Chains A and B, each alone.
Chain A
Amino acid sequence: MKNSVFTSLCFLCLVLVLSGCSVDNDVSQFKLNPNQSNIDLGLRGQMAGSGATSQKNSIDAWKLGYNAYYPNISVAYDPKGSGGGRKDIISGASIFAASDKLLSDEEIKLSKSVCGSNGVIQIPTYISKIEIIFNLDNIKSLSLDNKTITAIFSGKITNWSDSLIKLQNPQINLPNKLITVVRRSDDSGTNDTLTSFFSKTDESLWQWGETSSWPSSIASLSQGAQGTAGVVIVSSLGDGTISYADSAQVGTLGVVAMDNPIMQISYMLACSHYNDIIAGQFVKSWLGYIISKSGQELSHNVSNSMVLNDSQTNQAKKDIDSITIGKENV
């Protein structure tokens, strides 16, 4: 709700742009037909969550899927970024959160005051690919190796006709055009994933390590935009832009073919204890649905995310079962 207007606008636009790949259709394909006995009308209320923009598409779909079982629950998700989501659950402002990054020790410690003695629990729910996207006239695909990508994002390669890029794409007629890097200006988990990838690729090129906010010393070499939707829109408006986004949200932009994909694990964060019985029951059933086979397949279908494997699912189940509800006996 406390979202900046720019982000919401961007989402509005993105929804319009993406309405071609209508979420509704995909859901109906996986229309879950819960038995009459599976439908729980008793659990009711409004449940608020916030966090990563990467999971947004899937969460929208999960809401519909979940409502087939629990029609009287309405889930409100505010995609304000991983950092904002973590803050919200630690401060008790939301019931659940989504984050592309695990909590720091500091944050776990902080969470113990509102989230029960075990603090926040973190369950991997969404495994996806981060695509390097670009906007060049008439070019839909490029191959770039990891080192070239790192060099572009650290501002070392600044023209599309650079010999290194040409060398890897001999069949493509690359224009003599400035490369504009578009990056997230907010506190983003995708930034963490990407910068960690750069750092691993070549530390001498990318000297700033893993960071959730773009390094300020190279900030003026690139453009900032808010949220995944923001970078996608700015990239589409520009000419010769390069950026990064969750594979579910790349829209009509060109995608770089990479040596090996950048995978991102995104988590759902929940408290290990809920005093409020309804909130507790909601979180358990909500997370239970998300990690279930139908939840994961639904997400794969709308966002092209990877389905959790058996051991991940079993671990997640155990974690969800460990959530306690009711008056805490300290």
Chain B
Amino acid sequence: MSKIGIFNWHRLFKTDKFYLLVCASSLFVLIILFAITVFLLFSAMPALESSQTGLLGISWYKSSEANNILDFCLPLVFSTILSSLLALVIALPVSIGVALFITFYAPPKLAAIASWVIDILASIPSIVYGLWGIFVLCPFLNVFTGNLISSPPRVLFTLSIVLAVMIIPIITSIIRDIYTGTPHLDIEAAYGLGATKWEMIRLSVLPYGAQGAMSAAMLGLGRALGETMAVLIILSPGRSYSFNIFGVSSHQTIAGNIAAQFPEANSLGVSLLTVTGLVLFIITFLVNWAAKKIAKSGVANV
């Protein structure tokens, strides 16, 4: 009777102050999300409504030689997704490996230390990763790439490695928690059938954690998509749909482009950058939605 809709109105009006507080907190988050959406839409409007001639007044739009806004956004979207997916391809196997090691192989003391190191990695600011990328990783890769590609290798490949290192902690810690929760019965059953440790992991742990791992991967992907500082520092910017991840000046991500052009942007330029920001917002929203969806179906199966 007292429960109408999602709120427990009875408790609300019976001055349960704590209940009021937690409701207000969650409402606050909703309002912020709404405000960001409205802000993006409003400030994107001038650019969306502007004619090509108007947009050509923006120097960096002009030099991009784009025919319209879509034409301007798509190479950025392409590079953003390409770099993030590549980062994910590198990060996911490593993360699963680390998580398995911590949960099943490492002696308890070492596992604790490894977990702690992973958490430390997660807390390093992205600009530090960026500086490491340009001052350490680039010269290091240069030793191997030598005469094959432009030197220093400020290319998408290098960027993806740095992005991978950045998202490994978050993916690892989620997967670790899931693997820890593998039902003991499953594990015992596998061993009961005479499975080795690897076979036990393959039969019990990996299937149990598959959905969770996918969902963790999506969250990592979300982080890689929006990364700015590392991109700005490492990548030599360019515009193309090239799959050549070793090609210099061929890629630029949405977030990197916003950071690079913002200081020089007039009001229409800022609006155009907001359009690209809106696109990024939609992409990350979809990725998170997919993560939720996968996680949910995982729970349903278990």
Contact = CB atoms under 8 A, between A and B. Distances in A.
Chains A and B are bound partners: yes
Contacts of A187: 59-60, 264
Interface in B209-258: 229, 232-233, 236-240, 247-250
Nearest to A214: B63
A222 B155 CA distance: 11
A6 interface: yes
A161 to B, nearest CB: 11
Contacts of B260: 4, 6, 185, 226
A238 B236 contact: no
Given A5-B259, A239-B142, A216 B232 contact: no
A237 B238 contact: no
A83 B264 contact: yes
A168 interface: no
A225 B142 contact: no
A61 B202 CA distance: 68
Contacts of A99: none
B249 A238 contact: no
Interface residues of A, number: 35
B263 A2 contact: yes
Contacts of A4: 232, 259-260, 262-263
Interface stretch (B26-34, B133-141, B182-190): B133-141
Contact of B64 (A216, A225, A237): A216
Contact of B249 (A3, A219, A237): A219
Interface in B249-280: 249-250, 259-260, 262-264, 266
A125 interface: no
B247 to A, nearest CB: 6
Contacts of A224: 236-238, 249
B142 A223 contact: no
B107 to A, nearest CB: 41
Contacts of B151: 178, 180, 238-241
A220 B59 contact: no
A291 B265 CA distance: 32
A87 interface: yes
Given A5-B229, A219-B249, A234 B154 contact: yes
Contact of B264 (A6, A87, A222): A87
B147 interface: yes
Interface string A189-209: 000000000000000000000
B68 interface: no
A38 B59 CA distance: 44
B65 interface: yes
Q: Which of B148, B151, B247, B264 is packed against the most chain A CB atoms within 10 Å?
A: B151
B249 A223 contact: yes
A186 B249 contact: no
Nearest to B242: A220
Contacts of B135: 237
Q: Which of A3, A87, A219, A241 is packed against the most chain B CB atoms within 10 Å?
A: A219
A241 B134 CA distance: 15
Interface size, B (range): 35 or more
A222 B263 contact: no
A180 B264 contact: no
A214 to B, nearest CB: 8
Interface in B148-172: 148-152, 154
B232 A220 contact: no
Given A83-B59, A216-B65, A234 B264 contact: no
A110 to B, nearest CB: 11
Contacts of A226: 260
A12 B152 CA distance: 20
B236 A223 contact: yes
A3 B263 contact: yes
Contact of A223 (B127, B139, B148, B248): B248
Nearest to B249: A220
Q: Which of A234, A237, A240 is packed against the most chain B CB atoms within 10 Å?
A: A237
B232 to A, nearest CB: 5
Interface string A224-247: 111000000010011111000000
B152 A238 contact: yes
Interface string A1-40: 0111110010000000000000000000000000000000
Q: Which of B262, B264, B266 is packed against the most chain A CB atoms within 10 Å?
A: B264
A329 interface: no
Nearest to A185: B237
A222 B248 contact: yes
Nearest to A234: B152
Contact of A6 (B139, B148, B233, B250): B233
B147 A220 contact: no
A138 interface: no
A84 interface: yes
A177 interface: yes
Q: Which of A83, A238, A241 is packed against the most chain B CB atoms within 10 Å?
A: A238
A5 B236 contact: no
Interface in B103-124: none
Given A178-B151, A187-B264, 11 more contacts: A80-B264, A87-B264, A213-B59, A213-B60, A213-B63, A219-B249, A220-B240, A223-B249, A224-B249, A238-B151, A240-B151
25 contacts: A4-B260, A4-B263, A5-B127, A5-B229, A6-B233, A9-B233, A80-B263, A83-B59, A84-B263, A84-B264, A91-B266, A176-B147, A178-B147, A178-B149, A178-B150, A180-B151, A216-B63, A219-B249, A220-B247, A222-B249, A223-B249, A224-B236, A238-B150, A241-B151, A241-B152
